[in-house]
Amino acid sequence: MELKQKGSSANVGSFKQLMVTMKWTTAADFDLAAAYEDKTGKKGLVYFGELGDLNAFPYMQLSGDEGVGDKGGNNEEIMRITKLDDIKYVWILCWDYGKVQEGSPARFKESDVTLSVMDDKGTAHKVTLDTGDLGNVALIATIDNTSPIGSKLINASKAGTLKGLKTLQQLTDIIEG
């Protein structure tokens, strides 16, 4: 199923594992990350500096860091999520590391970043970044786990600009902005 437009959504229901895959061939150092908020309001971030853990909270783990130094080619980063029991929201983000460092707009429009979310039943949801906003951080999708019926994947397609990545609050401002 494709979520091409901002605001489109799909139910991801219950699962044993979600696999979020971001791929690109553009010569850019894009990074996949997931910010989250648990049911007590605590926020955190899984990214190349804190890869996470599948066997302990937050039950999310990133595969590693690709495209370092603006390397083109078959770049791929994978985030696995094994449990959302204590999580309200997961915000799936992509940033252009070099552009965040210098505070300049990223190359999202000229890039071929694709995001796929697959559950353990083999159902894949492709999420297309649908924003003309300039920025070096893109909120591509949100997993909303607040409904008792099950989780929902939403194409969030929002961008913002950071100069340096110093605090989680900076990302939260883009997510909630």
Which structure tokens are listed for 125?
A: 């949801």
Q: Where along the chain do its domains lie?
A: 2-176
103-144 per-position pLDDT tens digit: 998 878 788 888 999 988 888 999 988 777 778 999 999 999
16: Cβ–Cβ under 8 A, 6 or more apart, which residues? Answer: 82, 120
What is the DSSP pairing of strand 137-144 with strand 87-96? Answer: antiparallel
Query: pTM of the full predicted structure?
Result: 0.90
Looking at 3.30.530.20, 2.60.60.30, 2.50.20.10, 3.30.2090.10, the CATH number of the domain 2-176 comes to 2.60.60.30
pLDDT digits (tens, 9 = 90+) for 59-111: 999 998 877 777 788 999 999 999 998 999 999 999 998 899 899 988 787 88
Task: Give the alpha-carbon dihedral of 42, 142, 75, 119, to 10 degrees.
Answer: 100
